[in-house]
Amino acid sequence: MNYSSFLSTISTARKANPLRLTRELEKKMSSIIMLSGGLPNADYFPMKTASVTLFDGTTIEIGESMMKRALQYSKAEGVDELLSWVEDLQLKLHNPPTAKYAPEKGQMKVVITSGSQDALSKVFHMLTDPGDNVLIDEPNYTGSVLALQPMGCNLIKVPSDQHGMIPEALNEILSQWKMDNVHKLNTRTPKFLYTVPNGGNPSGSALTAERKKEIYKLASKYNFLIIEDDPYYFLQFEKTKVPSFLSMDVDGRVIRCDTFSKTISPGMRIGFLTGPAPLIDKVIQHTQVSTGQPSTFSQILLVQLFNKWGQKGFLEHVARVEAFYKKQRDTMVAAAEKRLKDLAEWYVPNAGMFLWIKIKGVSDTYQMIKEKALERGVSFVPGCAFMFESTQPCPYVRASFSYASADQMDQGFRLLAELIKEEVK
């Protein structure tokens, strides 16, 4: 693939920062005289050791030498041990066809990021110039929409339902571009498609394997990239996980965004981006001149945790997390059936943290949710927050089942039912 044709003007101009640590230099730091790097002297860091107690009562330790490393600068692409661990995880879970490609042909490469929002922001800047066309379904994650809108790109809405983006609708949209133009520069064919394939925020939609295959075929036919933003991959509630776009990527056109926020901790701010090496290298160059690196301390803490658990222990942990959220989902759906049955409609999400509720007889939920609901002591998010035109009327409400107790869900929906009845009088 000609990856240069997808890069924004700014990303094309980026160069590697010669002052940043390289992987090769970091490996040699203990055996050479370091007169090059502007590294603070670790002997004067105030923290010496740390011990962290896990939920099962066991501990992980960060000793003196490890702490010096954890508090120091590190490479923009991430700590070696964490990078290797994540690469092995991606190979096990997705077995990407690109794993054995040559780098210039789109070989799979991984970079650690400061959470998934950091990754998405850098990917959007890497690919987007004003006037570019971007394919995206609505409703969609507010953080992504707000990141894209100021960049001056054209957000092309692709219809979706509870099973995600509809391939037939996507094909109809794409048919306006002539096939002999799709491999030419500056023809304004869509550069990429952005989607949250599992447990979409806010809709809870989940793309089926069949739809993913059809969408990937269209991506190959019309030569656009796929950004697979999958923070809820480990919160799928069916027995078998749906294959990812990354697992289907024979062309090297998928950029996959993952995070530990939903399974380990959002406060650690650690995510990881997987995609073709020529594109991931541009993300690394961006990191070198922006955030510099993900938190070394958070990465070392994760390395120690994963050394203790192993891949098997991690997967056992996420299975427990998944089971908890499935129980939470069932509890919220039961509360909705009890309190909202004739007042609203929804579908049962197969992944994620959210129930997307359409209120009957109410054309716009904004005032009801942002003012009246809060006055009565319950918080939801009005659906307009997830639309491209947030000032337009929207009859939807997003409820999260991630945090509330069963009793709180029941009482929250009781209050919502009262408000709906008052609105439709």
Q: In the predicted model, what is the mean pLDDT of the chain?
A: 94
Q: Which comes out higher in pLDDT, residue 357 or 388?
A: 357
Predicted pLDDT of residue 16: 87
Predicted pLDDT of residue 189: 86
The arithmetic mean of pLDDT across residues 15-25, rounded, is 69
Question: What fold does the segment set 319-423 form as a domain?
Answer: Aspartate Aminotransferase, domain 1 (3.90.1150)
Q: How far apart are CA 96 and CA 246, in angstroms?
A: 6
Checking if the pLDDT of 164 tops 90, the result is yes
Check: CB of residue 237 under 8 Å from CB of residue 321. no
Domain boundaries, the chain: 76-310, 319-423
Predicted pLDDT of residue 397: 98
Predicted pLDDT of residue 18: 78
Mean pLDDT lowest among 69-78, 152-161, 174-183: 174-183
pLDDT tens for residues 321-353? 999 999 999 999 999 999 999 999 999 999 999
Q: How far apart are CA 305 and CA 318, in angstroms?
A: 14
Checking if the pLDDT of 20 tops 70, the result is no
Checking if the pLDDT of 54 tops 90, the result is yes
Q: In whole angstroms, how far apart are CA 374 and each of 180, 371, 377?
A: 55, 6, 5
Residue corresponding to tokens 């993913």: 212
Predicted pLDDT of residue 179: 63
Mean pLDDT lowest among 21-30, 48-57, 147-156: 21-30
* Tokens encoding 105: 């042909």
CATH number of 76-310: 3.40.640.10
For the question of whether the overall pTM of this predicted structure is more than 0.85, the answer is: yes
pLDDT tens for residues 57-90? 999 999 999 999 999 999 999 999 999 999 999 9
The arithmetic mean of pLDDT across residues 102-108, rounded, is 95
Predicted pLDDT of residue 25: 62
pLDDT tens for residues 215-250? 999 999 999 999 999 999 999 999 899 999 999 999
Domains 76-310 and 319-423 share a fold: no
The arithmetic mean of pLDDT across residues 7-14, rounded, is 95
The arithmetic mean of pLDDT across residues 254-262, rounded, is 98
Q: How far apart are CA 110 and CA 122, in angstroms?
A: 14
Checking if the pLDDT of 180 tops 70, the result is no
Checking if the pLDDT of 185 tops 80, the result is no
Phi first, then psi: give them for residue 270, nearest 5 degrees: -125, 120
